């Protein structure tokens, strides 16, 4: 039996096959770290070991958490990061260019068949490109940086098949919130999830990134999507290296004994997740007329170019409600610049949006814009855990950029389809 996960792990472990439950040692194709869990954590460990990074070309460092610099502590972390990058002669350093999970693919670092690790829980984003990528802690990352290897227990694959096609204004974010409600935050059981079906392959690459990213919310190790021509077209556009035999990883119907979950995209409505968990998701109609203070379009799941475009399609020639503050933090500088060239940022500005830096920002509880006591926020982020985005008394509702934008106009939570119809 072979799944996409097993195929990649077998290649990385230099074995003809990889059986579920087997423990193998894999060669790492790429290791990604950021300023928060990166050099300041791994530098002391590597120094104790007397080791440098095993391959300066297979490490990517991104500053995205302590951005912008606010105070001496933040400055010291950023300076340490830059000094370590110079010391180790790291070739792939992206300083304040956006969120790591968006910067990595847009710079051509991911492609089918790769085995990658990241120092962040949302590292499964790489699975959108047919790569096996998962998050690890600082101690494990230090081991990877020193040796270029890591052990892994070959996971089962849970196949989530999305039939049909979504309606207009229903997105990958809605699909993931519905999945969280269906199987729960532990439903992934730290196994590999693979998304398949017509609805998945109709998604563009940035929407697929949202699917893979939020595998973490299901408790999965990885969130994989079989590569297809859409994948390859995107990778060519960012000058990524693509294996000649990439079709070997085009396993749309894996041979497995694991669980299969069938879902229907054609019957899906926009979703909202109530505090304090993504699994508290339900149809938007269940939340109609709930008021809030902040509308936030940000994070790796909610402020990529396609997300900004979605929000702008709702906000064009409209103004946000006087009782709402709309904050927008584009996920990467490149996506922001593209949105600027195409007039998208101007639409958001004219509607009344306030812009924040290209960083994790409020989503990860960093910076001065954190939610205040008792504030209520509707957000395009992936998580709404208690206190994550600010004061523990604040409340966060999760939704797609369409729903966040429509709600910002109405001043209460609404179905974006109703607004566009009116």
All structural domains of the chain, each given as residue ranges with its CATH number in brackets, are 4-265 (3.30.499.10), 271-421 (3.30.499.10)
- Distance CA(148)–CA(58), nearest Å, equals 9
In the predicted structure, residue 93 carries a pLDDT above the cut 90: yes
Residue 367's pLDDT is: 84
Terminal alpha carbon distance of the chain? 52
* pTM higher than the cut 0.95: yes
pLDDT band for 26, please (50, 70, 90 cuts).
very high
Q: Across residues 227-253, what is the average pLDDT?
A: 95
Predicted local distance difference test score (pLDDT) of residue 255 = 66
Q: How confident is the model at residue 62 (pLDDT cuts 50, 70, 90)?
A: very high
The helix or strand, by DSSP H or E, that contains position 34, with its residue range, turns out to be: strand 30-34
Task: Please report the pLDDT score of residue 256 as a whole number.
Answer: 66
Read off the pLDDT of residues 100-112 as tens digits, 9 standing for 90 and up: 999 999 999 999 9
If you average pLDDT over residues 62-70, what whole number do you get?
A: 93
User: Which pLDDT does position 336 carry in this prediction?
Assistant: 98
Q: What does the pLDDT average to over 285-291?
A: 96
Nearest to 395 by CA among 406, 387, 403, 407: 387
Phi, psi values for residue 317, rounded to 5°: 60, 25
Kindly report, residue by residue over 274-286, the tens digit of the pLDDT: 999 999 999 999 9
Q: State the average pLDDT over residues 289-308.
A: 97
Work out the average pLDDT over 148-169.
96
Mean pLDDT computed over every residue of the chain: 96
pLDDT score, position 257: 67
């Amino acid at each position: 039996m072979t799944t996409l996960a097993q195929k990649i792990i077998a290649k990385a472990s230099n074995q003809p096959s990889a059986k579920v439950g087997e423990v193998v040692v894999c060669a790492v194709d790429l290791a990604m770290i950021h300023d928060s869990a990166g050099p300041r954590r791994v530098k002391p460990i590597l120094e104790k070991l007397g080791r440098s990074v095993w391959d300066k070309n297979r490490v990517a460092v991104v500053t995205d958490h302590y951005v912008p610099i606010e105070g001496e502590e933040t400055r010291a972390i950023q300076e340490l990061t830059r000094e370590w990058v110079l010391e180790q002669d790291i070739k792939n350093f992206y300083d304040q260019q956006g969120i790591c999970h968006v910067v990595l693919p847009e710079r051509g670092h991911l492609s089918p068949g790769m085995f990658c690790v990241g120092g962040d829980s949302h590292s499964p984003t790489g699975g959108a490109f047919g790569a096996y990528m998962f998050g690890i802690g600082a101690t494990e990352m230090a081991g990877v940086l020193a040796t270029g290897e890591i052990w892994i227990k070959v996971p089962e694959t849970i196949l989530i098949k999305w039939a049909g096609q979504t309606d207009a204004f229903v997105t990958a974010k809605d699909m993931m919130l519905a999945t969280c409600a269906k199987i729960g935050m532990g439903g992934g059981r730290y196994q590999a999830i693979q998304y398949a079906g017509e609805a998945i392959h109709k998604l563009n690459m940035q929407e697929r990134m949202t699917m893979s990213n939020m595998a973490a919310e299901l408790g999965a190790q990885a969130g994989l999507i079989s590569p297809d021509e859409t994948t390859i077209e995107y990778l060519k556009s960012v000058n990524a290296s693509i294996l000649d035999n990439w079709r070997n990883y085009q396993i749309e119907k894996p041979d497995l004994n694991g669980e299969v979950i069938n879902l229907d995209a054609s019957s899906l409505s926009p979703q909202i997740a109530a505090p304090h968990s993504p699994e508290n998701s339900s149809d938007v109609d269940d939340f109609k007329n709930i008021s809030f203070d902040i509308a936030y379009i940000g994070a790796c799941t909610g402020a990529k170019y396609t997300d900004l475009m979605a929000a702008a399609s709702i906000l064009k020639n409209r103004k946000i409600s006087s009782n709402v503050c709309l904050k927008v933090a584009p996920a990467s500088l490149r996506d922001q610049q593209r949105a600027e060239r195409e007039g998208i940022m101007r639409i958001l500005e004219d509607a009344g949006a306030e812009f924040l830096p290209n960083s994790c920002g409020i989503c990860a509880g960093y910076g001065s814009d954190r939610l205040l006591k008792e504030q209520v926020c509707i957000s395009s982020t992936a998580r709404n855990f208690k206190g994550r985005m600010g004061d523990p008394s604040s409340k966060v509702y999760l939704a797609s950029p369409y729903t966040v934008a429509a709600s910002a106009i109405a001043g209460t939570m609404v179905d974006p389809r109703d607004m566009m119809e009116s």
